Chains A and B, each alone.
Chain A
Amino acid sequence: MHSDRASFGLRAASLAGLLFLHLPILIIFLYAFTSEEKSYAFPPPSLTIKWFAVAWNRADIWPPMHLSLWVATASTALAMVLGTLVSAAMAQTRFFGKEQISLLILLPIALPGVITGMSLRSAFSIMNMPFSTLTIILGHATFCIVIIYNNAVARFRRLSGGVLEASADLGANSFQTFRYVLLPNLGSALLAGGMLAFALSFDEVIVTTFTAGQQSTLPIWMLQELVRPRQRPVTNVVAIVVFMATFLPILIAYYLTRNGSETAGAGK
């Protein structure tokens, strides 16, 4: 007889897989509360919440935190503009080599970060651009664009080309068509893409390492902090912050795009 339930072995294996993936994250959370600050002894001798206060008062956390927020915001904003434009162009026109161009747009996310980082670093050097916040933002924008592009181009495809023509037919100029037809229909896709891009930028390490000057973003600060045996749980507190800053946007983005057709209809 055919059974709807998976066998015990399969269920156990999937559970083990899920645990393997997510247990380490829980352990990170756990060590944010440990009273032992020099090593990660298991089990933690006792639990405390003092590290949150310590982290809050550590002056060296704030600059990387601000930098990370600023980089994520700026690169997302830049990617929103460029990604929307390129997706509009790709969705509405047909030209020779379009498939190849489309692949090129997607490449930054498929390419290993080291390659992107190296190429950006040499490019910035050739252009005599000092490594700064600006170069980090540009570096992050390369892969943020892909996220926005993917979200927007899917929505463009679903948005029948007809409505844009209908708008022009009814007397709207291109700005009015953008404002009254395109943007309301694209809104949720852009918001979702923006949230994903923000999350991606916020925890990026590799490209940042190659494009940053002296300053460090929050993930890089954490990396440096791990080798220091002082106040280790503070790093875990920051890890929780990074987790929240990236996981929440992804969760919201998921709910925004889950019922794509509905949000397209509901628009605003």
Chain B
Amino acid sequence: MRARRASNILLMSGFHMSSSVPAAVEFCSVSRHFGPTNALVKAVNSVDLTVPEGAFFAMLGPSGSGKTTCLRLISGFEKPTAGNIRIFGRDVSDIPPNRRNVNTVFQDYALFPHMTVRDNVAYGLMVKGMDRRLRESKAEEMLSLVKLEGYGDRRPSQLSGGQRQRVALARALVNEPRVLLLDEPLGALDLKLREAMQDELKTLQARLGITFVFVTHDQSEALSMADSLAVFNNGKIAQIGTPSEIYAKPRTRFVADFVGSSNVLSPKTTRLFGGPNRWSSLRPEALRLTAPDNVTLSGTVTSQRYLGTGNRISIALHGTEVSALIPAGQPLPKTGHTVGLAFDPAALHIMEDEK
């Protein structure tokens, strides 16, 4: 294993000399269509994307947007209808899942119910023919990495959801994949455990330096964990970028709606706010409340919600509703009162038209 890793590094330095470092995963106009021609479902529709090596890459989108199909295209459980996929520069079209150096943490963990935790973790090494003593010690090593020392003799059915999740992680990592795919791995966990696992995954990824490709429909999870993310909609990538780019500058209405708690303003409202006749977005924290006068915009407070770190105020104005975030400690207007709205014009982000 060590030796292989070393040779990979050599191989990559070779690439360095000839061209740039190949990306961990590359999609070149990849499509995956399902069903008969008269009722074609374009699950993935001409997607281009590049996951740089060592990245924590999130694929975010509502269910049915194609993100999981993209993951399965990387693992090899789906074959592209058109286009091609390269993993570390190598076209994987003809490589079956069991011969790709990619491992998956499945959504429902898919642990083998009839095996002990240790045998589950050692499975990938066993099928490669590693002898029992060596693979079991490696499995124990992995179990301690995911903080499950001493659980080796249990069955998956004797573990909690969070523990199963860690076993699934250890089982994938023991194979030293160059790319780890995670399919909504935290979806089944409760909030507190999910947050703890988010931190742990992040730390683990930084420590191991493996490329993580993470599928989720939870935008806060994607924003807080990923180095870069792709937002999927209807089988296409709506936007790709860093979390702050996506949060601050959503390219389309869909991205603004899905990713953030941003105010999405119609062309009419945008004009009202001093912008062009286009859709725009305005973050709630960019809005300040002022005393109502005849110069600035004004509206009526319709509701307020306490968020701990501040209050979210909904304001109705000219037939639309926007929300503003008031930091804790600042005076709050009463519901039904009229307030003025002020903001930095640069915060008004104009979006592209949706195709």
**Chain B residues engaging chain A, CB cutoff 8 angstroms:** 75, 77, 96-99, 102-104, 106-114, 123-124, 126-128, 155, 157, 171-172, 175
Contact = CB atoms under 8 A, between A and B. Distances in A.
Contact of A169 (B75, B108, B112): B75
Contacts of A165: 77, 97, 104, 106, 110
Interface of A: 160, 162-163, 165-173, 176, 180-181, 184-185, 264-268
Contacts of A168: 77, 96-98
B157 A166 contact: no
Nearest to B181: A169
Given A181-B112, A265-B155, A268-B114, A167 B123 contact: yes
A188 to B, nearest CB: 10
B110 A171 contact: no
B114 A170 contact: no
19 contacts: A160-B108, A163-B112, A165-B104, A167-B123, A167-B127, A168-B77, A168-B97, A169-B75, A169-B77, A170-B98, A170-B171, A173-B98, A180-B112, A181-B112, A185-B114, A265-B113, A265-B155, A265-B157, A268-B114
A166 B128 contact: no
A162 B111 CA distance: 8
Given A160-B108, A165-B106, A172 B98 contact: yes
A267 to B, nearest CB: 3
Given A163-B113, A265-B157, A266-B114, A170 B124 contact: yes
A171 B108 contact: no
B75 A180 contact: no
A162 B123 contact: no
Contact of B123 (A170, A185, A266): A170
Contacts of B75: 169
Contacts of A166: 104, 106, 110-112, 171
Q: Which 10 residue pairs across A and B have the least CB separation, nearest first?
A: A267-B114, A162-B110, A170-B124, A166-B110, A172-B127, A168-B97, A184-B114, A265-B113, A168-B98, A169-B104
Nearest to B121: A170
Nearest to B126: A180
Given A265-B157, A267-B113, A169 B123 contact: no
Contact of B97 (A162, A163, A169, A185): A169
A38 B175 CA distance: 76
A47 B171 CA distance: 67
Given A166-B110, A173-B127, A180-B112, 4 more contacts: A168-B77, A169-B172, A171-B175, A173-B98
B123 A180 contact: yes
Contacts of A169: 75, 77, 97-98, 102-104, 106, 172
Nearest to A164: B110
Contacts of B128: 171
Contacts of A181: 112
A170 B96 contact: no
Contacts of A173: 98, 127
B311 to A, nearest CB: 44
Given A169-B103, A172-B127, A173-B98, A264 B108 contact: no
